[in-house]
Amino acid sequence: MSRPVLVTGGSGVVGRALIARLAAGGREVRALARSEAASRTGEELGARAVRGDVLDPASLATAAEGCATVFHVAGINAMCLRDPGPMLRTNVEGSANVVWAAAEVGVERVVYTSSSSAIGEAQGTIGREDSPHRGWYLSEYERSKHLAERRVFELADELGVNVVSVNPASVQGPGRATGSAGLLLDVVNGRLPLLVETTISLVDLADCSEGHVLAETRGTPGERYLLCGSTITTREAVELLRRMWGLRREVRFGPAWLAEAGGAVIGAGARLVGRDAPVCSEAVRTLLHGHSYDGSKATRELGLRYTPLEVTMLRTLEWCASQGLVRPGRGQRART
């Protein structure tokens, strides 16, 4: 019988999908859980919950004892935070703690969930695993993921731990309604009548989970694998949403300076009242930079096959409609 695997961050969107995928494949899964709610989530998905925290090295070592692989998915993905310190500690120190724990208890492999943002490609270029970093950060989140990935690989070399990094683009699928998914929902619901022109790279949630599983057995230690199935402009995305679902109102495109000014004003207002902002300069800067990624290395070396964009979008919208997050689409209205 194969040894168990440990998943950190199992209560998040990617973590939940990964636990379900591993359990469906007959794997014995442990889910690191910081709370009772996270424990219940892991157990409902077929894992055995183990209480612990990535910022508590002792609990990590206990949870990983006897495991063949640790899938380190846990992390904070946020922008416009008044204090990014906790995010930096969780993403950087927490990831380092996972590698230390793996070395301590003899885990065979760590599959580390990095981010496409860690690539740091220059604007207007296609990001690849070997792209040179532009040398500065669009956001504190990007900083945290880039520093975390560097720290993970440095420690892996120092401690002799077998680490493979997967770098997902924006993850879309049932269960995801924030980030760029929230942007698309706002367009459909008519809450965002003005957009700016930019480019977004996406990966289906199921493909993201499969990429993690394939990285465990087929990934080369010390390598990173971008997971990206589609790249689309905001104009193309609006047209796709119009065709497949319908829009509540017409969407217009505005100049970049207008978005920059709006982000600065909203961010400043939130700081004045001591709150995290829904939009701020770093979020607008990230959006306007745009991202195009090449996910073909994961296909060549891991054997990952990507879901067509239209299928991903439809699955996401249907789930959101079932949760009352978006009005029913044309086809759904016709069936009801």
CATH number of the domain encompassing residue 101: 3.40.50.720
Q: Examine residue 148 and state whether it is found in any structural domain, yes or no.
A: yes
Residue 249 CA to its chain's centroid (Å): 29
Q: Examine residue 241 and state whether it is found in any structural domain, yes or no.
A: no
User: Which residue do the tokens 């990173």 mark?
Assistant: 224
Q: Examine residue 161 and state whether it is found in any structural domain, yes or no.
A: yes
**Do residues 116 and 297 touch, judged by C-beta distance below 8 A?**
no
Q: Determine the pLDDT at residue 186.
A: 86
Residues in the chain with pLDDT < 70?
1, 330-336
Sheet of strand 199-204, all strands in order from the earlier edge strand to the far edge: 170-172, 199-204, 230-233
Q: Examine residue 297 and state whether it is found in any structural domain, yes or no.
A: yes
Q: Determine the pLDDT at residue 336.
A: 41
Q: Examine residue 287 and state whether it is found in any structural domain, yes or no.
A: no
- What are the CA-CA distances from residue 104 to residues 151, 155, 177 (Å)? 17, 12, 38
Q: Determine the pLDDT at residue 335.
A: 45
Q: Examine residue 208 and state whether it is found in any structural domain, yes or no.
A: yes
Q: What whole-number distance in Å separates Cα of residue 141 and Cα of residue 80?
A: 9
The tokens for 39 are: 């424990």
Helix residue ranges per DSSP H, 56-193? 57-64, 85-88, 94-105, 140-159, 180-188
How many domains does the chain fold into?
1
Residue 38: domain span: 5-172+203-228+292-306
What backbone phi and psi angles, to 5 degrees, belong to 108? -70, -35
Output b/e per residue, 3-39; b: 16+ Cβ within 10 A: ebbbbbbbbbbbbbbbbbbbbeeebbbbbbbbeeebb
Q: Examine residue 104 and state whether it is found in any structural domain, yes or no.
A: yes
**Do residues 146 and 120 touch, judged by C-beta distance below 8 A?**
yes
Q: Determine the pLDDT at residue 19.
A: 97
For the chain, the average pLDDT equals 92
What tens digit of pLDDT does each residue of 97-134 get?
A: 999 999 999 999 999 999 999 999 999 999 999 999 99
